């Protein structure tokens, strides 16, 4: 399926937030583990910024999952 940029950013952000909550992590905890500012992570979760694949990779490592588990939000 093909999505526009805004939809992709929103779906990825929602997926990150869902995974963070499932792992019982606060925004601050996950941001610390992913070595990023919590405001940046918040903006990713809210779909406010189009983040890089490297940032997705860092978030995935912090969640102890593969990057594909975040990106599968686009497989609907």
Q: What is the mean pLDDT of residues 9-32?
A: 98
Count of C-beta atoms within a 10 Å radius of residue 49: 14
Token digits for 24? 């019982």
In percent, how much of the chain has pLDDT > 70?
99
Q: What is the mean pLDDT of residues 12-27?
A: 98
Backbone dihedral region for residue 64 (phi beyond 0: left; psi -120 to 50: alpha; all else: beta): left
Cβ atoms of 75 and 11 within 8 Å: the answer is no
pLDDT at position 2: 87
pLDDT band at 59, cuts 50/70/90? very high
Q: What's the predicted TM-score (pTM) here?
A: 0.94
For residue 22, pLDDT over 80 is answered with yes
Query: Domain holding 60: CATH number?
Result: 1.10.260.40
Q: What is the mean pLDDT of residues 20-46?
A: 98
CA proximity to 20, closest of 75, 72, 74, 69: 69
Give the chain's domain count. Answer: 1
Q: Domain of 29? A: 5-74
């Amino acid at each position: 399926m093909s999505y526009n940029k805004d939809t992709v950013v929103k779906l990825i952000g929602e997926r990150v937030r869902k995974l963070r909550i499932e792992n019982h992590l606060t925004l601050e905890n996950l941001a610390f583990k992913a070595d990023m500012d919590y405001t940046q992570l918040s903006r990713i979760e809210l779909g406010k910024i189009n983040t890089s694949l490297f940032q997705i990779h860092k978030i995935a490592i912090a969640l102890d999952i593969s990057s594909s588990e975040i990106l599968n939000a686009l497989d609907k």
